[in-house]
Chains A and B, each alone.
With several copies, the nearest count.
Chain A
């Protein structure tokens, strides 16, 4: 018998700022001065304020089911802050942090979660995809967008964010596999918050890391501390840069924890211990970065108060506008279906609007 090694792989895990806010070594260029991290911090604070408000609105019957990103803010902010404006974001339903950074407004988010399609007609990032509620369905879209960039020889990349549960779906694998031979400028970011509703990460797959799923596609994969916004941004920035330069796709697994219920429709106490959740508050991304900034002398109690107040104002203003926004007219159901409405559906539209006797 001859047995030889055909291939070898390893997966790394990276962190820059530990759970207590201590740097584990030199920080990357973009974080060289602690002050440079303040926008990231403020964005995480805004996200948390937004999430809290959205949950409150849902509890009082003024918003639909909502998926909080409590404790996971660093994933989206780290990733989005690594993007260039011309890159395209394809978010799952729990990445409001990334969307807010990209310029989607809190009002748009509220409209969407309040059940109004206008919330996906972003005034800001016009090419970004709407939220993907179907798990992993947006992964091949990210490959398609990346293929468009590659074909046009544009130095742009697509960034797809999805969950640990999403890595079990065929769409996810098919998309990263296609990205391989075509060297697509795509970054697949797995927000591993340890849970897919009630199914823990360990029941989702026997893979020791989710990053290693990249190996199946022949693309690089790495793990980062997803509660460390610096580590997330650094890994995603490197991956995006390589993608834009023709170096192909990367899978980044960001390890975090879902501190909230799955959504407002969920009661996580049915399936997980409060104790584990409580323990996971240690090292959560906002407290962690605040500790770092404070230790660096870049953040004061006053700064904190301002940040909280600014976030509250932004969210309150958005809420007011949201609550004051009348629903779309019924015609809107029809008017965006096709570029031009076919005659048969024109007739239905008229019927729906009561302008004409129905005939079906």
Chain B
């Protein structure tokens, strides 16, 4: 069981899915000979041939749109969008078409497609390459939104996403593509798409988040432990549908919660979790829910990006504030 990077886990899951199911196709810009700009599809062309691994023309809306057509014809397209910054032109197809095909036809047609893309900043990439736009996809009924934060979860959740009979937007934390390494068994075992992952148990406070910031949450939990406070760390992983039960249960135990994401604060997906805490979770709360997020500003170019992206210190400050409360 070799230690591999997150992007290699993606690659492994793609290869596994293609091996076990001939209807799985990979398509997108530069996914073929180049193996994808991050190498997520490296080697697949050689292994599965040009009828399973398709380099597309440069047109994101159509990449999503032809995937809908392929999926209606019982293929399972796994489309790659090169960076989340270029995924916004797919929203129309994902919202009006992919997410609705089953509903519109009362199940006659369906849309088992996956739209994968790297998301988030922190790799000093050019303008428009460091987006955290997940909130654009989370208020779309009929769509699942998945965002793993470790190689093993990336592997298992991508398998699940591909096997799922409905459309999934699958976000991959660019910052962890190479930085996150882990033993991953290529055992073809999928992880559930409707469950959060509790990465660390603790009774004093719950840290909840997704994507690259999960690593910072774990680091913050270490620091808190050194201060004598046990933080529970939850990787949401599947944003939609949300595993509210696990989240509410954790906060019911700890009474305190810090929600962390890289996307801007206002109407970021963290708001949904906080809203559930204000609703069904209210009686558990011993302190105001904290959100540690990107600022409500445009993601800056690389020179200031690390001051935009929230990290361990901001998580710690929020956690301490919460722990000191009441």
Contacts and interface: CB of A to CB of B under 8 A. Distances in A.
B312 to A, nearest CB: 15
B303 to A, nearest CB: 4
Contacts of B65: 137, 139-141, 143-144, 171, 174-175
Nearest to B265: A360
B30 to A, nearest CB: 5
Contacts of B321: 358
Contact of B108 (A121, A338, A359): A121
B300 A343 contact: no
Contacts of A355: none
B302 A338 contact: no
Interface stretch (B52-60, B153-161, B197-205): B52-60
A38 B324 CA distance: 71
Interface string A103-137: 00000000011111110111000110111011111
Interface stretch (A162-170, A221-229, A251-259): A162-170
A286 interface: no
Nearest to A154: B73
B186 to A, nearest CB: 24
B303 A196 contact: no
Contact of A144 (B60, B67, B86, B301): B67
Interface string B88-109: 0100110011000011111111
Given A137-B92, A343-B245, A345-B297, A115 B305 contact: yes
Contacts of A166: 58
Looking at A114, A158, A270, A333, the one whose CB has the most chain B CB atoms below 10 A away is: A333
Given A121-B107, A130-B104, A177 B72 contact: no
B33 interface: yes
Contacts of A309: none
A359 B280 contact: yes
Contact of A197 (B34, B165, B166, B245): B34
A203 interface: yes
A134 B86 contact: yes
A65 interface: yes
A266 to B, nearest CB: 8
Contacts of A178: 56-57, 59, 62, 66
A338 B166 contact: yes
Interface residues of A, number: 81
Contact of B57 (A116, A171, A205, A334): A205
Contacts of B279: 359-360
Contacts of A93: 126
Nearest to A90: B69
Contact of B69 (A144, A196, A360): A144
A333 B30 contact: no
B137 interface: no
Contacts of B250: none
Interface in A143-192: 143-149, 151, 158, 165-166, 168-171, 174-175, 177-178, 181-182
A352 B77 CA distance: 34
Nearest to A181: B57
A7 interface: no
Interface stretch (B3-11, B218-226, B227-235, B287-295): B287-295
A181 B50 CA distance: 13
B283 interface: no
A345 B128 contact: no
A337 B141 contact: yes
A58 to B, nearest CB: 10
A344 B97 contact: no
- Pick the most buried of B32, B96, B103, B125: most chain A CB atoms within 10 A of its CB: B103
Contacts of B89: 170
A147 B317 contact: no
Contacts of B126: 64-65, 93, 113, 133
Interface of A: 64-65, 88, 93, 112-118, 120-122, 126-127, 129-131, 133-137, 139-149, 151, 158, 165-166, 168-171, 174-175, 177-178, 181-182, 196-199, 203-205, 265-266, 270-271, 327-328, 330, 332-334, 336-340, 342-345, 348-349, 352, 358-360
12 contacts: A93-B126, A141-B68, A148-B69, A171-B65, A178-B66, A196-B29, A198-B30, A334-B297, A339-B164, A345-B295, A345-B296, A360-B265
The 9 closest A-B pairs by CB, nearest first: A144-B69, A140-B65, A115-B302, A148-B73, A198-B34, A342-B241, A144-B66, A174-B62, A168-B57
Given A142-B69, A145-B69, A165-B57, 12 more contacts: A64-B126, A65-B125, A121-B105, A126-B108, A137-B93, A140-B62, A141-B65, A147-B70, A170-B61, A178-B59, A199-B30, A204-B58
Interface of B: 25, 29-30, 32-35, 37, 51, 54-62, 64-75, 77, 85-86, 89, 92-93, 96-97, 102-110, 124-129, 141-142, 164-166, 194, 241-242, 244-245, 265-266, 276, 279-280, 290-291, 293, 295-298, 300-305, 307-308, 317-318, 321
